[in-house]
Amino acid sequence: MTTLTWHGHACFVLEHGAHRVIIDPFLTGNPTADIDAAQLGKVDAILVTHGHGDHVGDAVPLAQMHDAVVVAPYELAVFLSEQGAPRVHPMHIGGAHDFPFGRVKLVPAIHGGMVEGTDGSRFATWPCGFVVTMGGKSVYHTGDTALTMDMQLLAGRVDVLLVPVGDNYTMGIEDAVRAVEFVKPKVAIPMHYGTFPVIAADPEEFRTAVGNRAEVVVLTPGQSYGY
């Protein structure tokens, strides 16, 4: 069995056997996080969908703490290496790679990706979504994205869909339901809502709107789901 745990916003930990992977590790400064970075525990890898601070989060200090590899689109991986991440694995859209913990494929996301250096400088980077396969099951973390027709290419190939519903910066509930229609996952889990007032959303409204298209699992920060 593979287990995923939501730590608020877009931050998830995936676990299978002895392996643990964190995606978008926004813990410090996250008002919905149930733990801080020091409480996370050992991780093998840190996957970052794009350069915004509420997704990069604690990536560099966690990489240093656990000697974990940071997996990100090429430009962002290079930037995080320059910021002190000891090991990075650059990838790009359409590419896949087999790691000791499982397989990672980068898929398109329509969003921004600016990162800010410690000296106040700003750099453009490319956003992505991740399809992570561990233990024979696949999770699609969309990252921050608008609804995109490319999602249809994953139809029937995803067990669990992690999809934003908060609107304003990403798709809202209406488009997230269409994403479920496009991807046809077994399970859909809403994310990227409720962290700040501007992305307030009701996950139960999402559940009702999805109907019988997929099982909707609504997690609270710190809660896990096994599949």
CA distance 18 to 5: 15
User: What pLDDT is attached to residue 121?
Assistant: 72
pLDDT in tens, 199-210: 999 999 999 999
- 162: CB partners within 8 A, 6+ apart: 4, 10, 12, 139, 140, 141, 142, 189, 191
C-beta separation of 86 from 111 below 8 A: no
Q: What are the chain's domains?
A: 3-219 (3.60.15.10)
User: What pLDDT is attached to residue 151?
Assistant: 98
User: What pLDDT is attached to residue 116?
Assistant: 79
C-beta separation of 47 from 62 below 8 A: no
Q: At what angle do helices 173-183 and 203-210 cross, to 10 degrees?
A: 40
Instruction: List alpha helices for 10-152, DSSP H.
Output: 53-56, 59-66, 74-82
Residue ranges of the chain whose pLDDT lies below 70: none
CA distance 11 to 200: 17
C-beta separation of 161 from 183 below 8 A: yes
pLDDT in tens, 162-204: 999 999 999 999 999 999 999 999 999 999 999 999 999 999 9
139-174: burial string, b at 16+ Cβ within 10 Å, e else: bbbbbbbebbeebeebeeebebbbbbbbbebbbbbe
User: What pLDDT is attached to residue 10?
Assistant: 98
User: What pLDDT is attached to residue 119?
Assistant: 73
Name the DSSP class of 149: G
User: Environment class of residue 20 by beta-carbon count within 10 Å: exposed (0-12), middle (13-18) or buried (19+)?
Assistant: buried
